[in-house]
């Protein structure tokens, strides 16, 4: 059986789409379709059921993928390992949310860009979880950091770390509310305060309100900026209350330039995932970055 046909088959199985598989393989969609039909003729059985959107594997298709994929991944690992001596061939394309990637992931990974013979070049891009995962699935990135866990067989996600969210504001707002009033009234005590957020939908504020107060925020955004570091700067300047990850606002909390308005017994958390295309951890530079970030995350927690 032709290994090229098997490689195309496994890629389609993981992608769930001839179009997406073609993009990952660098082939035209008709070429992918032709290769799958050739393999189906050789086996004498259908491997996929064509749907309005993408394809669904048959039982035979699932069985073949289960048997073939590990061996194909192993061959990729052997091929990639043979290139380790030439680090110039290695470039890791990383994507993730701008704040977390800039503040945590990139400082950790730059330690792997040295000239120790095992290093690699690093290229980073920022985006939302949806944009990042779509880019990864399309082959634009090697490794993604996402707050959304992808579905399907194309992408494989590994939990990286949890991020604690803190309700913060400049000290003058805390003095205006009063800790006792907030303790007694909860969310209603905050409804007249201006809000700083990353989007008009108030994603962080809404998640905090639902988790801590079991309600929806009544306020609307006063300042909307699409970067948590800018949210922190605006909150510090007194623009209003904000919900921020503790790792990002901890230095400002320590200096007293902002204060935590409320400290719930169980703070809201958000999980970050390391995501790769299934099978690409066989590539040494991807596997090394993946493992390195997991090790670094132990200290972050």
Summarize pLDDT for 104-130 with one digit per residue, the tens: 999 999 888 865 556 788 999 999 999
Section 267-274 average pLDDT = 95
Largest CA distance in the chain: 76
Query: Which fold would CATH assign to domain 163-269?
Result: D-Maltodextrin-Binding Protein; domain 2 (3.40.190)
- Does this chain's domain 3-82 share its CATH topology with 163-269? no
Q: State residue 113's pLDDT score.
A: 81
Q: State residue 263's pLDDT score.
A: 87
Q: With H, G, I as helix, E, B as strand and everything else as coil, classify residue 277.
A: strand
Rounded to the nearest 5°, which phi and psi values hold at 288?
A: -70, -45
Instruction: List the chain domain ranges.
Output: 3-82, 91-161+270-298, 163-269
pLDDT digits (tens, 9 = 90+) for 159-201: 999 999 999 999 999 888 876 667 666 677 787 789 999 999 9
SS3 content of the chain, % helix, strand, coil (to 5): 50, 20, 30
pTM of the model: 0.75
> What CATH number belongs to 3-82?
1.10.10.10
Q: Which CATH class is domain 91-161+270-298?
A: alpha beta
Which helix or strand (DSSP H or E) is residue 103 part of? none
Q: State residue 118's pLDDT score.
A: 62
* Band (291; pLDDT cuts 50, 70, 90): very high
């Amino acid at each position: 059986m032709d290994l090229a046909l098997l490689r195309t088959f496994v890629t389609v199985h993981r992608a769930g789409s001839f179009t997406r598989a073609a993009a990952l393989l660098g082939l035209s969609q008709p070429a992918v379709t032709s290769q799958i039909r050739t393999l189906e003729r050789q086996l004498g059985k259908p491997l996929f059921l064509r749907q309005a959107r993408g394809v669904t594997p048959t039982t035979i298709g699932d069985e073949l993928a289960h048997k073939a994929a590990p061996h194909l991944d192993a061959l990729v690992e052997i091929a990639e390992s043979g290139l380790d001596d030439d680090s110039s061939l290695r470039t890791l394309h990383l994507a993730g949310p701008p704040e977390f990637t800039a503040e945590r992931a990139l400082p950790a990974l730059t330690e792997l860009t040295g000239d120790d013979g095992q290093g690699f070049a690093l290229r980073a891009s920022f985006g939302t979880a949806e944009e990042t995962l779509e880019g990864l699935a399309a082959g634009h990135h090697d490794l993604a950091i996402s707050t959304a866990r992808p579905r399907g067989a194309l992408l494989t996600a590994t939990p990286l770390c949890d991020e604690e969210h803190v309700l913060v504001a400049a000290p003058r707002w805390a003095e205006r509310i009063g800790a006792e009033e907030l303790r007694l009234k909860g969310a209603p005590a905050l409804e007249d305060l201006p809000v700083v957020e990353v989007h008009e939908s108030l994603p962080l504020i809404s998640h905090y309100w639902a988790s801590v107060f079991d309600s929806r925020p009544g306020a609307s955004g006063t300042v909307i900026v699409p970067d948590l570091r800018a949210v922190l700067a605006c909150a510090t300047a007194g623009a209003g209350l904000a919900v921020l990850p503790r790792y990002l606002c901890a230095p400002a909390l320590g200096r007293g330039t902002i204060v935590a308005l409320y400290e719930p017994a169980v703070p809201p958390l958000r999980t970050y995932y390391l995501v790769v295309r299934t099978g690409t951890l066989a590539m040494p530079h991807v596997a090394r970055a993946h493992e390195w970030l997991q090790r670094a995350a132990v200290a972050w927690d």
